[in-house]
Amino acid sequence: MNPVFTDLDSAYQLHYYLGFRTYFRKPLFATSKENELLKNVLDDVCLRENYHLLDTTIDKDHLRLLLSLTPAQKVSRAIQMLKGNISREFGLTCQEQLAIHGVNRLWAKGYFAQSSGKVNLEAARKYVENQASHHGYQGDWSKRLKFRNEAFVSPAFDISHSLAILNYHLVLVTHKRLQIFDEVIAPGFFEYVMKIGAKHQFVVDRMSLLPDHVHILIEAIPNVSVEECVLAIMNNTQQWMTKRYAGVLKETEGWNVWQPSFYAGTVGEHTTAQVKRFLG
């Protein structure tokens, strides 16, 4: 399959609450020296990698932070860069702390990562589920415009030594806002997006398909960027529509199906404002 979409514009707000523990929960960040080192390394890595550090809390045996990323950035790489650079500088500068506590490494294996956003996950689910009625579509037929994955269980991915729950609200808009989709297309579209997710390491939670746009709630694995998820959905559904509904695309002149842009927002059990209050 030759991809139609390779470079996308986007509007986004992607926030991640991350937590790292020291090896055996040793109190390795006990003095101002270690705290200052962590802050300096965090600032350096975020500047170099174009991460936006929103908040930080340093305790004696763990580090918590709230990080904002772009759609192309992977959570797993951000964690690798942060933990790796801090570990390296700590070993060079604070070797005495490791010796005092009888350990030869700074971090325990794994991490905690959870998405947050302007609204919590339940509010986002209700918003997606109510899209048909919000746009004035009523009656039994309109029920076919929405999808709920009854098998969805979070966390959707089992990651060794780690807990990651990364939920995204995606909005894709049709080419020139053309009226391409309807209740006949919707069930097959939903089924196909589920298959795309299984292949590209994300799981669908909810979807609503309107004539000129779609809302999708997904949970993705940390080593896949949200942009990669969107590109997989766009390119595969474009091919799917061409194969099954060429007549619709010819009639509407919507051969590309999608605009080369998207919205992506993180949501989670807690809002970003709640996470900030907790860290503060």
Domains by residue range for the chain, with CATH? 13-114 (3.30.70.1290), 117-274 (3.30.70.1290)
The residue whose two tokens read 């896949």 is 224
For the four alpha carbons of 120, 121, 123 and 127, in that order, the dihedral sign comes to positive
Rounded Cα distance between 204 and 217, Å, is 6
Of 112, 123, 85, 59, the residue nearest 273 (C-alpha): 123
Rounded to 5°, the CA angle 128-132-134 comes to 85
Q: What average pLDDT does the segment 149-176 reach?
A: 97
| Percent of residues in the chain assigned helix, strand, coil, to nearest 5 | 40, 30, 30
The residue whose two tokens read 């048909």 is 132
| Amino acid letter, 116 | S
pLDDT the model gives residue 42: 98
Q: Which two tokens stand for residue 23?
A: 């090896």
Q: What pTM does this model have?
A: 0.96
Q: What average pLDDT does the segment 139-153 reach?
A: 96
Q: How confident is the model at residue 270 (pLDDT cuts 50, 70, 90)?
A: very high
3-state SS class at 135 = coil
Cβ neighbours of 132 (radius 10 Å) = 21
pLDDT digits (tens, 9 = 90+) for 32-84: 999 999 999 999 999 999 999 999 999 999 999 999 999 999 999 999 999 99
Element holding 232 (H helix, E strand):
helix 226-244
Residues 6 or more apart whose CB falls under 8 angstroms from that of 280 comprise: 55, 57
Does residue 4 carry a pLDDT above 90?
no
Q: How confident is the model at residue 120 (pLDDT cuts 50, 70, 90)?
A: very high
- 172 touches 264 (CB < 8 A): no
Q: Which two tokens stand for residue 235?
A: 């390119």
Q: Which two tokens stand for residue 226?
A: 């949200």
CA 252 to chain centroid, in Å, comes to: 32
Q: How confident is the model at residue 2 (pLDDT cuts 50, 70, 90)?
A: low
The per-residue pLDDT of the chain, averaged, comes to 96
